[in-house]
Amino acid sequence: MADERIEGLEARLAAGNATVGVVGLGYVGLPLAVAFAEARLKVIGFDILPQRVRAVNDGHSYIPDVASDRLRRVRADERLEATTDKDRLAEPDALVLCVPTPLTPTREPDLHYVVFEAEEIARRLRPAQLIVLESTTYPGTTDDLVRPILLRSGLNAEDFFLAYSPERIDPGSRTHSIRNTPKLVGGVDAASTRLAAALYRHVADEVIPVSSPRVAEMAKVFENVFRAVNIALVNELAQLCEKMGMDVWQVIRAASSKPFGFMPFWPGPGVGGHCIPLDPYYLASKAREYGFHTRFIELAGDINEEMPTYVARRIADCLNARGKSVHGARILLLGVSYKRDIGDVRESPALTLYRILEEWGAQLAYCDPFLPEVQIGSRRVTALPLNASELSTWDCVVIAVDHTGVDYESVVARAPLVFDSRGVTAGLAPRANVVRL
């Protein structure tokens, strides 16, 4: 590609005169689209769901991390619009793909959303466009999957730019945003890396170029595998401490007093969200292509997946010790989201725990201020209000998510049995009716 095309696009990006397209307006795409618009870039958001497009254009956010007033401001400034019209993919100078990358039922990578959108772009790709993939995936996706699809456009590889920049959204975080989280970018060539870095400098204080898309893809997967492995380690430690009659929460706090060489992770009923439960399987699947078995990583996945069943067994044992069978027991779950203070149930271990206990014959209900209703199997279940005066009517209250704003002292004082899977009662005075993971 002629240097003037590179320099022209780079100049437009640097000056903020470029148009950015964000493909997929979910948990990653909508916050990114709003961030670009707030940086005074013109943004077109693409989504296949008409209801999402209508909501964005009406200024109504459906993503907790994006307040509706922020959305309304960029709409009023005419900096952001949403559409389902794929023919408009030719308009933006840069297109960022933020689509889901789930697993198949057999725990293999499912990249059909990436393939579909890449094919849609290829039909409309024009010279000098920058394409960036943000979706979490295995190393090699940008080079080996996305690039060949884009080449079906009839353009040569040097006619367009392609890069990978992993999303690092932390849903519900009050401290980490797109702006203050370093942004990795790895292009298929030096020009692609340079242009992707110029794009993201509008929304991130620190942009870190790496040598290739593969490095950026592996870094993203490694970040989440690191967490998954350490969470599995501490979940296994929790099981050992229970057998040895020790409080795992006290053990971790004691170990955390060491000022070097230790980083605390905390046990729980499993791991949730889109990335941490899935990414180990993405990496393991790719590793098998190289004849490599990621034993350590896959074992960590197995341990974390087994935690809801382990917690259910502990709850059943606690009920049995008090002369009550889990079958027919009235159990109230406090929280069903996948982590504290958000209304996101993707891969939620609390929901898995709910289903297991219900299959065992327990009578289940839940309280969650962030989720007025959830899908359990084929039915919708409505949350109960957390009524302190009714806590004594439940056989067991399970702290499945450590939402802030809950009066756990009152819960402990009123419920006949509390199973704490998150350690929020560790600082309270010991009580015979409280059992911790």
Domains of the chain: 3-211 (3.40.50.720), 226-436 (3.40.50.720)
Does the structure show a pLDDT above 90 at 59?
yes
Output the pLDDT for position 429.
85
Q: What is the mean pLDDT of the chain?
A: 94
Residues with active-site annotation: 275
What pLDDT shows up at residue 20?
97
Query: pLDDT-derived band of residue 208, with 50, 70 and 90 as boundaries?
Result: very high
Summarised one tens digit per residue, pLDDT across range 36-51 is: 999 999 999 999 999 9
Note the pLDDT of residue 265: 96
Kindly state the average pLDDT of the residues 326-345. 95
Q: What is the pLDDT of residue 2?
A: 54
> What is the predicted pLDDT for the residue at 108?
86
Tell me the per-residue pLDDT of 262-312, one tens digit each, with 9 for 90 and over: 999 999 999 998 778 888 888 988 999 999 999 999 999 999 999 999 999
The stretch 17-35 carries a mean pLDDT of 95
The pair phi, psi for residue 373, each rounded to 5°, is: -155, 155
Q: pLDDT > 70: what percent of the chain?
A: 100
Rounded-to-integer distance, Cα 414 and Cα 420, Å: 14
Q: Are 226 and 263 in contact (CB under 8 A)?
A: no
Q: What is the C-alpha separation between 389 and 396, in angstroms, rounded? A: 15
- Give the model's confidence band at 3: pLDDT under 50 very low, under 70 low, under 90 confident, else very high: confident
Look at residues 313, 320, 361, 357 and name the one whose alpha carbon lies nearest to residue 336: 357
Most confident of 93-97, 376-380, 386-390: 93-97
Q: Per-residue pLDDT tens for 228-266?
A: 999 999 999 999 999 999 999 999 999 999 999 999 999
Least confident of 4-18, 56-70, 124-138: 4-18
| Structure confidence by residue, pLDDT tens digits, 123-180 | 999 999 999 999 999 999 999 999 999 999 999 999 999 999 999 988 887 889 999 9
Instruction: Report the 3 state secondary structure along the chain.
Output: CCHHHHHHHHHHHHHCCCEEEEECCCCCHHHHHHHHHHCCCEEEEECCCHHHHHHHHHCCCCCCCCCHHHHHHHHHCCCEEEECCHHHHHCCCEEEECCCCCECCCCCECCHHHHHHHHHHHCCCCCCCEEEECCCCCCCHHHHHHHHHHHCCCCCHHHCEEEECCCCCCCCCCCCCCCCCCEEEEECCHHHHHHHHHHHCCCCCCEEECCCHHHHHHHHHHHHHHHHHHHHHHHHHHHHHHHHCCCHHHHHHHHCCCCCCCCCCCCCCCCCCCCCCCHHHHHHHHHHHCCCCCHHHHHHHHHHHHHHHHHHHHHHHHHHHCCCCCCCCEEEEECCCCCCCCCCCCCCHHHHHHHHHHHCCCEEEEECCCCCEEEECCEEEECCCCCHHHHHHCCEEEECCCCCCCCHHHHHHHCCCEEECCCCCCCCCCCCCEEEC
54/377: higher pLDDT: 54
Residues 6+ apart with CB under 8 A from 312: 326, 353, 356, 357, 360
